[in-house]
A and B are shown apart, each in its own frame.
Chain A
Amino acid sequence: DTGVSQDPRHKITKRGQNVTFRCDPISEHNRLYWYRQTLGQGPEFLTYFQNEAQLEKSRLLSDRFSAERPKGSFSTLEIQRTEQGDSAMYLCASSSPLDGSSYNEQFFGPGTRLTVL
């Protein structure tokens, strides 16, 4: 179990460019979440996958954002035509209903810090 990994860890881009982030969840975790965290705020939910199905999207996820989890393993989050307001830490978390706990703990990756100039 190597934990949740995210790539890249940092991304600096110019306004208007497209960016794509990758998340590799803990092996065999079928639940995957994306959150966004801005400075001084707690993480905000963006979207949820159960296996390859995207089952919930937040209103925060504008049409410039798209997320996929094509084979139910890794996930990608793409932001098109980035804006300065997209600057944030993008966190991925995974969980499994079979982890033996009663609360389905979400394990967070290290995050991708996006800076839009």
Chain B
Amino acid sequence: QKEVEQNSGPLSVPEGAIASLNCTYSDRGSQSFFWYRQYSGKSPELIMFIYSNGDKEDGRFTAQLNKASQYVSLLIRDSQPSDSATYLCAVIGRGATNKLIFGTGTLLAVQP
């Protein structure tokens, strides 16, 4: 079992819709969770961080964390074509280095 699992997609949504991206993790001791956006050929860019159960909102983005179910999600409201990218879920790995353990990423395509 991979430490962080995501559906690779592609997830296709129409412009203006809500995109829902999901991620599960295997280490019950994980504390911090990240969503990175990666455009094709570019490097990852942090868009959301969450460490408490529940929802965290930032503009059109909402991260949801359920530690009991070991599940993290990202909602993108009013999806725009510019949101089309790969979304990477990551957790901090064991140890003191804060290294990130990434999932494979979900490719989101927003159709105009």
Interface residues of A (CB under 8 A from B): 31, 33, 35, 40-45, 48, 50, 55-56, 91, 95, 102-106, 108-111
Q: Is the Cβ of A104 less than 8 Å from the Cβ of B98?
A: yes
- Is there contact, CB below 8 Å, between A42 and B99? no
Which residue in B43, B96, B98 is a CB contact (below 8 Å) of A110? B43
Given contacts A40-B8, A103-B49, A103-B51, contact A48 B99 (CB under 8 A): yes
What chain A residues lie within 8 Å of B44 (beta carbons)? Answer: 43, 91, 108
Is B104 touching A42 in the complex (CB atoms < 8 A)?
yes
Chain A proximity of B9: nearest CB distance (Å): 11
Chief secondary structure at chain B's binding surface: loop
Which of A43, A45, A50, A55 has the most CB atoms of chain B within a 10 A radius of its CB? A43
Known A42-B105, A43-B88, A55-B97; further 8 A-B contacts with Cβ < 8 A: A33-B97, A33-B99, A33-B100, A42-B102, A43-B102, A91-B44, A106-B98, A109-B43
The count of residues in chain B whose C-beta lies closer than 8 Å to any C-beta of chain A is: 25
B95 at interface, CB cutoff 8 A: yes
A39 to B25, CA, bound (A): 21
Min CB–CB distance B103 → chain A (angstroms): 5
A48 to chain B, nearest CB (A): 4
On B, residues with C-beta under 8 Å from A are 4, 8, 32, 34, 42-46, 49, 51, 88, 90, 93, 95-105
CB distance from B64 to the nearest CB of A (A): 17
With A40-B8, A108-B43 known to touch, is A45 a contact of B104 (CB < 8 Å)? no
Q: Give every chain B residue within 8 A of A106 (Cβ-Cβ).
A: 46, 98, 100
A53 to B96, CA, bound (A): 14
- Complex-state Cα separation, A31 to B101, whole angstroms: 16
Partner pick for A95 among B8, B51, B90, B98, CB 8 A cutoff: B98
Contact B45 A108 (CB under 8 A): yes
Contact of A105 among B43, B46, B102 (CB under 8 A): B46
